[in-house]
Chains A and B, each alone.
Chain A
Amino acid sequence: MASPIEQFQIKPLIPVINFTNSSAFMIGAAAVIVGGLLYATRNRAVVPGRAQSVAEVLHDFVANTLVDATGKEGMKFFPLVFSLFMFVLTANLLGMIPGFFTVTSHIIVTFALAMLVIGTVVIYGFVKHGTHFLGLFVPSGVPAWLLPFIVVIELISFLSRPISLSLRLFANMLAGHIALKVFAGFVVSLLAAGGALTILAPLPLLMAVALMALEFLVAALQAYVFTVLTCIYLNDALHPGH
């Protein structure tokens, strides 16, 4: 039986260009997204079919999340937020297929995506509002003697955003896949142990089935959480006043 962390191993496929299984699944996720959405909207039907309904629901869902958090002017970030949501969701769900690599179970990937969000917030904030963007760290109506502490706290909370954003997704995907693998491994171990232990083998199997359902929920939920937080952070770039 393989180690539960073997599934996270990066295996080079074309070493010359650093192309690995991770790269393949990233491209796979992008291909599934673009191909799926183009296929779904191929008829441009006024009365949508099943596939087009799904595409429209995804579009409206992300658009509503963004508008709820940032207002109408946030729609300029819609392609970015939609790309992030679709990429994370698809990578998470692709990872649920047995034997498939989970792109988002690597901290460097989730951290890069989080830095993309925070980088967008910081650059857009400064370009749009100049030094006024720094008002984000100075809440109004705070007594002067308290201000230094508040600014430090706000600064720390801002800097911890990319870390919490990336760690949340990474840890959820990693832990879920490890737990699945461990329980699946128990089934094999118990079967191999023979005797009375073999009879117990279905118990971890049931657990693995339940975990599988839970992991599907987590895969979708974490994509949503990542998107909602992205929208909330983008709102700071659009409206820096507390």
Chain B
Amino acid sequence: MAQAQTTNATTEAHGGAHEDVGFPPFATETFGGQLLWLAITFVVLYTLLSRLVLPRLSGIIENRRAMIASDLDDAAAMKSRAEEAGSAYEKSLAEAKGRAQALAQETRAKLSAESDAKRKALEADLNQRLAEAEATISSKKSEAMSHVDAIARDTASAIIERLTGKAPAPQKVEAALNQIKA
């Protein structure tokens, strides 16, 4: 309604200046020119888009897709390498632990054997010294005992000399002592 009113109003205002034109989209005499230029434009547009623009655009998108895919592949490869390295590390760690344990065992065994040997040597040494000391003691003891006779003799003659004022004959003292001893 509004449309019709305005159209009427303008037709009145312009005194039918546009009446010879009619409705432009239905003006058949313009169809040829429009079709010609549409054909030219669209063929050029299609050619430029399909030969130049779209290959470039899909190239960019494809390139990105390939790049992301290869990056993901790289990441997966790196991850598996890292996992491999991790397991190798675990393995070598376990090996090293085993070796360290064996070494510790060996060292402990060696050390205890050494200390055993040292202890035994020391004991033998001590025993020997003990025996030597015992021998010394017994020899000293017998030596001391052998001096006892002489001391007794000297003492006895000294006592007699004091009592009698004259030194007794050593043979008599000797005989008396032997008598007491017996």
Contact = CB atoms under 8 A, between A and B. Distances in A.
Residue among B3, B14, B45, B64 facing the most chain A CB atoms (10 A cut-off): B45
B112 to A, nearest CB: 70
A113 B38 CA distance: 9
B59 to A, nearest CB: 7
A106 B6 contact: no
Residue among A2, A10, A48, A174 facing the most chain B CB atoms (10 A cut-off): A10
B62 to A, nearest CB: 11
B171 interface: no
A44 B67 CA distance: 13
B27 to A, nearest CB: 7
A160 interface: no
A76 B122 CA distance: 102
Interface string A52-87: 100110011000000000000000001110110011
A178 B31 CA distance: 21
Interface string A172-208: 0010001100100110010000000000000000000
Interface in A1-39: 1-6, 8-10, 18-20, 22-23, 26-27, 29-30, 33-34, 37-38
A56 B61 CA distance: 8
Nearest to A78: B54
A34 B30 contact: no
Interface string B141-169: 00000000000000000000000000000
Contacts of A82: 49, 54
Contacts of A178: 3
B59 A109 contact: no
B34 A20 contact: yes
Nearest to B51: A79
Interface residues on B, range: 35 or more
Residue among B7, B18, B33, B39 facing the most chain A CB atoms (10 A cut-off): B33
A137 interface: no
A107 B50 CA distance: 26
A34 B49 contact: yes
Interface in B4-34: 6-7, 9-11, 13-14, 18, 21, 23-27, 30-34
Given A29-B41, A41-B57, 17 more contacts: A19-B37, A22-B37, A26-B41, A30-B45, A38-B56, A41-B60, A46-B67, A55-B57, A78-B54, A79-B49, A79-B54, A83-B42, A83-B50, A86-B45, A106-B24, A106-B25, A109-B34
22 contacts: A1-B10, A3-B7, A9-B24, A19-B33, A20-B37, A23-B34, A37-B57, A38-B52, A44-B59, A48-B60, A52-B60, A59-B54, A59-B61, A78-B54, A79-B49, A83-B46, A86-B49, A106-B25, A108-B30, A108-B34, A179-B3, A182-B6
Interface of A: 1-6, 8-10, 18-20, 22-23, 26-27, 29-30, 33-34, 37-38, 41, 44-46, 48, 52, 55-56, 59-60, 78-80, 82-83, 86-87, 103, 105-109, 112-113, 116, 170, 174, 178-179, 182, 185-186, 189
